[in-house]
Amino acid sequence: MNNIVDYKILRDQYYQEMMICLEFWLRYGLDEEFGGYMSYLDRKGDVFGSDKSVWFQGRGLYTFSKFYNDFDKSEKWLNAAKLGYDFLLNHCFDSDGRMFFVVTRDGRPVQKRRYYFSETFAIVGCAEYYKAGSDLRALKTARTIFDKVFCFYQNPEMIPPKYNPDVIKAKSLAVPMILITTAQTLREADTTNADKYNACIDLFINEIFEDFLKNDKKALLEMVGADGEYLNNPAGRTINPGHSVEASWFLMYEGICRKDNAIIDKALDILNWSFEIGWDKEYGGLLYFVDIEGRPSDKLEWDMKLWWPHCEALISYLMAYTLTEDSAYFEKFRLIHDYAFNHFRDEEYGEWFGYLHRNGTVSNSLKGNLFKGPFHIPRALMQCYSMLMELTDKSQQRA
């Protein structure tokens, strides 16, 4: 295999796919009448529901701003970002400063949830938008929301508990995991406060390593007790391979920023273990949920293949390869690449399917809903394209 040619072919493929996906959302997802982004798009891009995911007002804002910042300074991308930014600020916040989960097309509140993921996506969106247009209000908004979220993190009793705290005291990997990448993105925009975000990231990483990472089980658990104890019940035994793989590249990235091999080594362990746990050896692809002890999963969708875990695995394995130059990581990247591009891509209408049966056939042909939108796919394609560019340059220098 000629690595230079291989990297170039892949690089060009990722850029082409990136443009197809972004143009799909640019063409069908922008709400020029009320602002923001439409959430419910069918296979062809037609709207089949008018309510809007607040997650994707922030996530879409991030994606269009990121593409503008790193790839193409065309005004259409900045305008698309501004459409989400204005809608987010004007319609997605409740009177208590918290954010909604779903709003109507014109911005009236429909649903508000106990957790604060809408807020984290608003932070990364506003931070990236600030970099795109130097809108100081965007940076101030990101700072304010981050401070509120961090307060909730330090004082979890401020958020209504998911379980009866007198019976079950538990916590989720999703919280420190998402807060790592949130703080990383804000740190890149708000460089004067980098030390503050570094200190926060220290806390998030320590919690993951001390409470959720179980070396004896070779797994990153999805839920543990309040003090990190193993919960021997279906929820406590559940592994979400996609989350674990996603966490691994957040950690690898932090290890790169800090030149900290100890963080990188643990991140690689998480990546390797998660793949071993989650890869479907019969049909290929990553299973959605796995019981770490091999017992039946109580999640009915446990054996489905979803778009986002494969997007995160593409980033993680290519990042692992760029760090180590171990060909085994590149082989895994190609394995995941082949599965994702052969099963999720919609060659007829563009963008990717989100939900497959275990055997790889399409379960639902929608392109957008409250959870799937312009984020995981374009983020993975942007990240991988940049790494493939780096690998191409290194190969040419060595040739």
Q: Helix, strand, or coil here: 214?
A: strand
Could you tell me which residues come within 8 angstroms of residue 2 by beta carbon, excluding any fewer than 6 positions away?
none
Answer whether residue 19 shows pLDDT above 70: yes
DSSP track, 115-173: S-HHHHHHHHHHHHHHHHH--HHHHHHHHHHHHHHHHHHH-GGGSPPSS-TTT--EEET
Q: What is the mean pLDDT of residues 150-160?
A: 93
Answer whether residue 1 shows pLDDT above 80: no
Q: What is the mean pLDDT of residues 27-42?
A: 98
Q: What is the pLDDT of residues 179-199, one digit of tens each?
A: 999 999 999 999 999 999 999
Which residues are registered as beta bridge partners of 224? 171
Contact assessment for residue 360 and residue 285, using Cβ atoms and an 8 Å cutoff: yes
The pLDDT value recorded for residue 396 is 84
Distance from the Cα of residue 237 to its chain's centroid: 23
Q: What is the pLDDT of residues 285-343, one digit of tens each?
A: 999 999 999 999 999 999 999 999 999 999 999 999 999 999 999 999 999 999 999 99
Q: What is the mean pLDDT of residues 240-264?
A: 98
Could you tell me which residues come within 8 angstroms of residue 30 by beta carbon, excluding any fewer than 6 positions away?
37, 38, 80, 83
Distance from the Cα of residue 334 to its chain's centroid: 20
Contact assessment for residue 314 and residue 380, using Cβ atoms and an 8 Å cutoff: yes
φ, ψ (nearest 5 deg) of residue 93: -105, 135
Structure tokens at 354: 């989100």
Average pLDDT along the chain = 96
Answer whether residue 213 shows pLDDT above 80: yes
The pLDDT value recorded for residue 162 is 80
Is the C-alpha dihedral spanning 43, 47, 49, 51 positive or negative?
positive
Contact assessment for residue 374 and residue 27, using Cβ atoms and an 8 Å cutoff: no
Answer whether residue 227 shows pLDDT above 80: yes
Which has the closest alpha carbon to 186: 260, 234, 126, 133?
126
The secondary element (H helix, E strand) that includes residue 102 is strand 102-103
Q: Which domains does the chain have, with CATH numbers?
A: 30-374 (1.50.10.10)
Burial class (CB within 10 angstroms; exposed 0-12, middle 13-18, buried 19+) of 89: middle
Q: Helices 54-70 and 3-28 sit at what angle, rounded to 10 degrees?
A: 130
13-30 burial: b if 16+ Cβ within 10 Å, else e: bbbebbbbbbebbbebbb
Answer whether residue 379 shows pLDDT above 90: yes
Answer whether residue 2 shows pLDDT above 70: no
Contact assessment for residue 127 and residue 142, using Cβ atoms and an 8 Å cutoff: yes
How many Cα atoms occupy the beta-carbon half-sphere of 313 within 13 Å?
32
What span, in angstroms and rounded, lies between the C-alpha atoms of 251 and 99?
27
Q: What is the pLDDT of residues 96-116, one digit of tens each?
A: 999 999 999 999 999 999 999
Q: Helix, strand, or coil here: 188?
A: helix
What's the helix, strand, coil split of the chain in %, to 5? Answer: 60, 10, 30
Contact assessment for residue 308 and residue 242, using Cβ atoms and an 8 Å cutoff: yes
